[in-house]
Structure 1
Amino acid sequence: MVVNTGDQVGRIVIGVLGLIALETTLENRQLIVIISDNATAWGSINGIGMLIVEKDLENFEKDPKESEEDYEEVSMIDKIENLEVGLFEIASNESRLKDINCAIEGYFSNITLTSDEDITNEIATACALTAFKLRHPIKMYLDRSTDMVMVGGRHPMKITYSVGFKSDGKITALYLNLLVNAGISEDYSPLIPHAIISCLKKYNWGALAFDIKLCKTNLTSKSSMRAPGQAQGSYIAEAIIERVASFLSLDVDVVRKRNLHTYESLKFFYGSSSGEAPEYTLPAIVDELFASASYFNRLEMVLHFNSCNKWKKRGISWVPIVYEVEPKPTPGKVSILNDGSIVVEVGGIEIGQGLWTKVKQMAAFGLEQLWDEEKKYLLDRVRIIQADTLSLVQGGLTAGSTKSEASCEAVRLACSILVSRLKPLKQSLEEQMGSISWDTLITQANLQYVNLSASTFWVADDTSSYLNYGAAISEVEIDVLTGATTILRADLTYDCGQSLSPAVDLGQVEGSFVQGIGFFVLLILFNI
């Protein structure tokens, strides 16, 4: 039998079946997970391909070119016949489904929910169904374990490549073939190929060609996680570099440095995002990191330690990173209340990355421009409130390490509008009264009906994308008997340009490193 879950109703039904725990049995049958090459033969994520196949294991061999008419379509279980009508009504009313999502997922209410592959659909449907049956409001909270299971984790991949190189380690060509396990529905998966290649291009591959396929399988849909695609792309690049070094019996450090971009090759691979030549700081970052971390001295110490110890071994390595930033449009709104307090709304969602901290600082900075010499410190008066899709209708996505700076720019523009409205009044009052306070200014502005609310919608131009550069060195020790791994030291250097909030950005760099440890060590160790 074949279950086609490519449509909204099919996916919602399956989600609700799991959530309400209806007991069903599959007699002498087992779900076959179709991945890798078989998945692409059965159909891509954007095609009709049916990839949930239910059949006897011993009869699994089948020509992928067989038509779908050879299968029997799945019929609904008798127990849920009465639920079908309600489910179809919910699925057919897109605006109602959006309202449900906003009601139960208010923390992410600025994310526009229009795709039938949104993970929140299952939760929204379960809440709607329960509320309909019980006739009162329902709020659902998932524990972290269930939440992570539903998210599906990062995308597993099968990677094959052909690489050409010279005897000195200089790579001249790379052909990459990727099969990405996207799960049962698209979700974030269509954006993964671009992210992979964007990070893979951190090295000068000479001639680069790639073929990436998204494979539809009967596993949980994969979603976005910090640096989705970029983490995998960087890993692929480093694996290829290390393989070339191993084949040529060369020091991997030599091969890495030999294949770093020049500005000319960087511009060829990244186009306008590469900026001007002085902005390409990666070679300088690497040299500075080597000096500050005493890399070569520590490398000799590692080699000496390994020669003297049989059951414990150490390793030290460095990797560069290039991240392409593509700012997205975002709205901002700044309002000054009668008591002089400042309320700010932005499209970005605060999820621990310090977005609200930066926005608060930017709002205070922007309004302080009213005073040329003596600054009025307004930071304590600023309050950020969570916007929703009614107050800011084009909130957009909080993703791609761009929302903080985009939100700050939108707020800066809104503050500039308010400053232009308040400055003539301030100058007039100062001529009459001398120096005035913030409270006095706002009181007089209210009395004279000055508009104290400004909204903006910042849109990036074609030249707004840019590249971030960084490099890191890690030294680890492994117990070869138990597999216990100890990170002895890590040195990270990151060019963040002019930081909006250095303390926040430092925390983000440290947090990303720790999260990367979890991805590259724990996930691989436990095969999650």
Structure 2
Amino acid sequence: MDETRIQDRSGAGEPSIAELGERPPTHERAIKGGVHTKRIHDSGVKHVSGAARYVDDEPELPGTLQIYIAMSEKAHARIVSLDVSKVRDVPGVACVLTANDIPGQNDYSPVFGDDPIFPQTSGPEALVQYVGQPIFAVAAETIDLARRAAKLAIVEYEELPAAITIEQALAAAGEAGHDLLDPHEMRIGDVDAALEGAPHRVLGRVAVGGQDHFYLEGQIAYSIPLEDGDVLVRSSTQHPSEVQHNVAKMLGVPDHAVTVEVRRMGGGFGGKESQPALFAAVTALAAVKTGRPVKCRLDRDDDMEMTGKRHEVTINYAVGFSGNGRIAAGDFSHLVRCGYSRDLSAAIADRAMFHADNAYSLPAARILSRRLKTHTVSNTAFRGFGGPQGMVGIERVMDRIAFETGIDPLDVRKVNLYPSFDSDRAPGVTPYHMPVTDSIIAELVEELEVTSGYRARREAIRQFNAQSPVLKKGLALTPVKFGISFTTSHLNQAGALVHVYKDGSVHLNHGGTEMGQGLFVKVAQVVAEEFQIDIEKVKITATTTAKVPNTSATAASSGSDLNGMAAQAAARTIKNRLIDYACGRYHVPEEQVVFAANRVLIGNEEKRFADLVGEAYLARISLSSTGFYATPDIHYDRESASGQPFYYFAYGAACSEVVIDMLTGEYKLLRADILHDCGTSLNPAIDRGQIEGGFIQGMGWLTMEELWWDDKGRLKTHAPSTYKIPTANDRPDDLRIAIWEKGENRSDTIYRSKAVGEPPFMLAISVFSALTDAVIAAGDGKAFPDLDAPATPERVLKAVEGVRG
């Protein structure tokens, strides 16, 4: 393997694959792969070589049936009749499943009970509510046969009025007298008085589009019938316990009758949190009904039509501010497009509100959120879980204030940042009344301002724009403050199971799932560190509900925080048993039993870790333990809209430079400088990958990934030919990523690390602001552009034409 050192644009060397994990910790004779060392992903070589096994790579058992799910052709309609008799008669069709075949509850929703697996075929609930909604399923010998047979079904619809857009949803909600979910409001200070008394005031709006998850591995489930009506489900899911619960309630059996297993996913990004339960339920039902293994693997078009997206949000704002750009009050209204059912929209819309302040201390603020029903697919979790949408609103406000005052946008941002935790100023307080006591954002922004050369580049861009009649450049430096924890408090828990075998090898299992983000290797590093053994001695195993029960989704950036602590607790229990054994066997005090680099020092003796374990086994010491962790000190009261919903905040900043073509609206990201806070990183190599991946995915959301439904509710961007995600060519040639060297979590997290899955996504808002800056330059600074996201070339061109009059 080529061990050439990879150079980043700043000239700092990044170690080769062969060197990863070799940096020793501070203790003597360091172990290989403990915490704070750079380790490649445990499946990295398998990923690039094609050896990594996903659900579809597992050998199919003899007699496996394939599922095709037939979808609604109407956005909103009553099913007058459904005739599948001809489908059942096709040779090779094993069964056809409708709502009438479900023995238990006809629901796969995560919370509210409003996601039917199939619509009823008669009565008031015989409704379809989006184009692509499952109506029935066909299990046949081959997928082609199932698909052809499904076309023989006869469905008679009575069409009903459909609300597709936010504007139509507002009108429909007005007529019906209610939204999909109750509105929610957060407030701090006297907003109306502060707005009235502010020297300057602006009003505006910004619309933020949705986003498809576009995971490499589509939705898939494989169910195997077992004895006594039990079923084993292999699912590509971020939430095995929820899939287990939904399959069990659909079958009308206890949870213990269903086992859900997942070794890895080919990407998830939130799209595999709640909605995989549908496909698991359909395969499990067919497996139990036929007694044969059943697989459902969606093709890309069906997947994109059938599954939820990031929530589209329109943000209206009114902001009062002083002459130096300091905000006196902000009034924000969020209009959230939820889709046909509630799914996770309540928590997602809440998180958009929680992040409406981003990194800025607002003396007075009001945030009102309405959650609207549309007859489109039910929108769902997506990286950032609403937070990015909320942040776009306040960052648009910062750009607007800078334009109105003539102050550099970075200076407007800096004057509004939350005070540092070690400053003389009192901590800022969020609109939900949580003091921000760990802020380092001001210092981090100052450092990036210097390392990115922001001031000199700002002047160089002014000179370039003055001399360039067609191309205009823009520059923006934006911060990120992102709360870490599930805002639904009971989800902040995790379990783990650790076995130490008598040869000293370790088996690790926990409730977290691996979707490419490197969670498994991080948790393995934690266990290796606890026992002081090389990471190669720790076996990573598939997540299964049969080993660790009642787990939460791997989401909210909390995977390492929760599962790392749970695994450490399990390992520490075993370690303490070994210490107690050694104290009794060798008559030494506890402090003289020291674990160090694959060995254990016991008084004046030294033993290999494996030898001590072997002795303990012969002495009948338990070498297996569960571990559990629940995040402390978090709560939120909806009635008062106040509390501490987050355990801590992760911080970061990005500086992006773009160039646009005023004649076509085309643009390019030329350079991006990123400085991100990972606390004391568990694995800097994994974290750097998450920072880069999050930034590029966020850039795709804000610049090119456009979802479009026609007036009949049909998704027209349902394939790579019509839905564009970033490619290697969209990555800037000059991308400089640094983990903040001073980082250390002030909260008691696993080895003082910080979550890194979602926070980097919002760094891409700097690209959107840089495009705004370039469009302002296109109009010679005379007008502020009306630019929504995604800022496609068409939208950029329209904005340019708008500012040029």
Tell me, yes or no, whether TM beats 0.5: yes
Give the aligned partner of residue 436 of structure 1.
607
- Cα deviation for residue 262 of structure 1 reads 2.6
Whether the aligned pair in 1 keeps the contact of 2:581 and 2:616 (CA below 8 Å) is: yes
Give the aligned partner of residue 315 of structure 1.
474
Instruction: Rate the CA distance shift 1:359–1:10 in 2: closer, same or farther, 3 A.
Output: closer
Q: Secondary structure at the match of 1:481?
A: coil
Whether the aligned pair in 2 keeps the contact of 1:153 and 1:222 (CA below 8 Å) is: yes
Give the aligned partner of residue 213 of structure 1.
370
Equivalent residue in structure 1 for 2:134, among 5, 11, 16: 16
Higher strand share: 2
2:610 is aligned with what amino acid?
Answer: D
Matched, 1:40 2:199: no
Give the aligned partner of residue 289 of structure 1.
448
Instruction: Rate the CA distance shift 1:378–1:270 in 2: closer, same or farther, 3 A.
Output: farther
Name which of structure 1's ranges 458-467 and 179-188 shifts more when overlaid on structure 2.
458-467
Equivalent residue in structure 1 for 2:326, among 155, 164, 170: 170
Alpha-carbon separation, structure 2, partners of 1:208 and 1:443: 62
Whether the aligned pair in 1 keeps the contact of 2:504 and 2:610 (CA below 8 Å) is: yes
Name which of structure 1's ranges 332-341 and 515-524 shifts more when overlaid on structure 2.
332-341
Give the aligned partner of residue 238 of structure 1.
395
- Cα deviation for residue 107 of structure 1 reads 4.5
Equivalent residue in structure 2 for 1:151, among 276, 286, 307: 307
Give the aligned partner of residue 461 of structure 1.
632
- Cα deviation for residue 111 of structure 1 reads 3.6
Q: Secondary structure at the match of 2:135?
A: helix
Q: Secondary structure at the match of 2:622?
A: coil
- Cα deviation for residue 231 of structure 1 reads 1.0
When the two structures are aligned, how many residues end up with a matched partner? 466
Q: Secondary structure at the match of 1:210?
A: strand
- Cα deviation for residue 10 of structure 1 reads 4.8
Alignment deviations for residues 203-259 of structure 1 (CA, whole Å, 9 cap, x no partner): 223211121111111110001111121111111111122222223343322322222
Whether the aligned pair in 2 keeps the contact of 1:109 and 1:389 (CA below 8 Å) is: no
Matches within 5 A, 1:361-440: 361-368=525-532, 377-426=533-582, 428=585, 434-440=605-611
Q: Secondary structure at the match of 1:17?
A: strand
Whether the aligned pair in 1 keeps the contact of 2:497 and 2:547 (CA below 8 Å) is: no
**Structure 1 residues without counterparts, runs of 5 or longer:** 48-97, 369-376
Matches within 5 A, 1:107-146: 107-108=237-238, 110-113=240-243, 118-128=274-284, 130-131=286-287, 135-146=291-302
Q: Secondary structure at the match of 1:507?
A: helix
- Cα deviation for residue 270 of structure 1 reads 6.5
Instruction: Rate the CA distance shift 1:391–1:28 in 2: closer, same or farther, 3 A.
Output: closer
Matched, 1:335 2:499: yes
Whether the aligned pair in 2 keeps the contact of 1:195 and 1:230 (CA below 8 Å) is: yes
Equivalent residue in structure 1 for 2:464, among 305, 312, 320: 305
Whether the aligned pair in 2 keeps the contact of 1:312 and 1:479 (CA below 8 Å) is: yes
Alpha-carbon separation, structure 2, partners of 1:220 and 1:459: 34
- Cα deviation for residue 340 of structure 1 reads 2.0
Whether the aligned pair in 2 keeps the contact of 1:472 and 1:492 (CA below 8 Å) is: yes
Instruction: Rate the CA distance shift 1:303–1:269 in 2: closer, same or farther, 3 A.
Output: same
Matched, 1:502 2:633: no
Name which of structure 1's ranges 419-428 and 515-524 shifts more when overlaid on structure 2.
419-428
Whether the aligned pair in 2 keeps the contact of 1:109 and 1:388 (CA below 8 Å) is: no
Whether the aligned pair in 2 keeps the contact of 1:273 and 1:466 (CA below 8 Å) is: no
Name which of structure 1's ranges 141-150 and 481-490 shifts more when overlaid on structure 2.
141-150
Matches within 5 A, 1:250-289: 250-262=407-419, 264=426, 266-267=428-429, 269=431, 274-275=436-437, 279-289=438-448
1:477 is aligned with what amino acid?
Answer: V
Alpha-carbon separation, structure 2, partners of 1:129 and 1:456: 34
1:414 is aligned with what amino acid?
Answer: A
Q: How large is the Cα RMSD of the aligned pairs?
A: 3.1
Whether the aligned pair in 2 keeps the contact of 1:16 and 1:126 (CA below 8 Å) is: no
Equivalent residue in structure 2 for 1:511, among 693, 702, 722: 693
- Cα deviation for residue 118 of structure 1 reads 4.5
- Cα deviation for residue 148 of structure 1 reads 3.6
Instruction: Rate the CA distance shift 1:236–1:471 in 2: closer, same or farther, 3 A.
Output: same
Q: Secondary structure at the match of 2:544?
A: coil
2:456 is aligned with what amino acid?
Answer: N
Q: Secondary structure at the match of 1:499?
A: coil
Give the aligned partner of residue 780 of structure 2.
none
Whether the aligned pair in 2 keeps the contact of 1:166 and 1:172 (CA below 8 Å) is: yes
Matches within 5 A, 1:174-193: 174-193=330-349
Whether the aligned pair in 1 keeps the contact of 2:114 and 2:341 (CA below 8 Å) is: no
Matched, 1:326 2:485: yes
- Cα deviation for residue 8 of structure 1 reads 5.0
- Cα deviation for residue 458 of structure 1 reads 0.7
Give the aligned partner of residue 227 of structure 1.
384
Whether the aligned pair in 2 keeps the contact of 1:199 and 1:321 (CA below 8 Å) is: no
Whether the aligned pair in 2 keeps the contact of 1:198 and 1:323 (CA below 8 Å) is: no
Equivalent residue in structure 2 for 1:160, among 311, 316, 320: 316
Whether the aligned pair in 2 keeps the contact of 1:12 and 1:121 (CA below 8 Å) is: no
Alignment deviations for residues 104-138 of structure 1 (CA, whole Å, 9 cap, x no partner): 52644534245799423432454355446755221
Q: Secondary structure at the match of 1:512?
A: helix
Q: Secondary structure at the match of 1:140?
A: strand
Alpha-carbon separation, structure 2, partners of 1:433 and 1:237: 62
Whether the aligned pair in 2 keeps the contact of 1:40 and 1:213 (CA below 8 Å) is: no
Instruction: Rate the CA distance shift 1:516–1:30 in 2: closer, same or farther, 3 A.
Output: same
Give the aligned partner of residue 87 of structure 1.
none
Whether the aligned pair in 1 keeps the contact of 2:118 and 2:136 (CA below 8 Å) is: no
Alignment deviations for residues 85-108 of structure 1 (CA, whole Å, 9 cap, x no partner): xxxxxxxxxxxxx987x7152644
Q: Secondary structure at the match of 1:221?
A: coil
Alignment deviations for residues 306-325 of structure 1 (CA, whole Å, 9 cap, x no partner): 11211211111110110111
Matches within 5 A, 1:59-70: none
- Cα deviation for residue 333 of structure 1 reads 1.5
Alpha-carbon separation, structure 1, partners of 2:430 and 2:276: 40
Give the aligned partner of residue 79 of structure 1.
none
Name which of structure 1's ranges 14-23 and 493-502 shifts more when overlaid on structure 2.
14-23
TM-score normalized with structure 2 length:
0.54
Alpha-carbon separation, structure 2, partners of 1:307 and 1:442: 73
Alpha-carbon separation, structure 1, partners of 2:629 and 2:116: 39
Whether the aligned pair in 2 keeps the contact of 1:12 and 1:125 (CA below 8 Å) is: no
2:436 is aligned with what amino acid?
Answer: S
Give the aligned partner of residue 448 of structure 1.
619
Whether the aligned pair in 1 keeps the contact of 2:427 and 2:435 (CA below 8 Å) is: no
Name which of structure 1's ranges 172-181 and 253-262 shifts more when overlaid on structure 2.
253-262
Alignment deviations for residues 396-453 of structure 1 (CA, whole Å, 9 cap, x no partner): 1211111112211111121211111112434536779942222222221211111000
- Cα deviation for residue 288 of structure 1 reads 0.5
Alpha-carbon separation, structure 1, partners of 2:283 and 2:386: 32
Alpha-carbon separation, structure 2, partners of 1:390 and 1:460: 24
Fraction of identical pairs, as percent: 28
- Cα deviation for residue 32 of structure 1 reads 4.5
Equivalent residue in structure 2 for 1:470, among 652, 674, 698: 652
2:503 is aligned with what amino acid?
Answer: D
Q: Secondary structure at the match of 1:476?
A: strand
Matches within 5 A, 1:95-114: 103-105=233-235, 107-108=237-238, 110-113=240-243
Equivalent residue in structure 2 for 1:347, among 492, 511, 523: 511
Higher helix share: 1
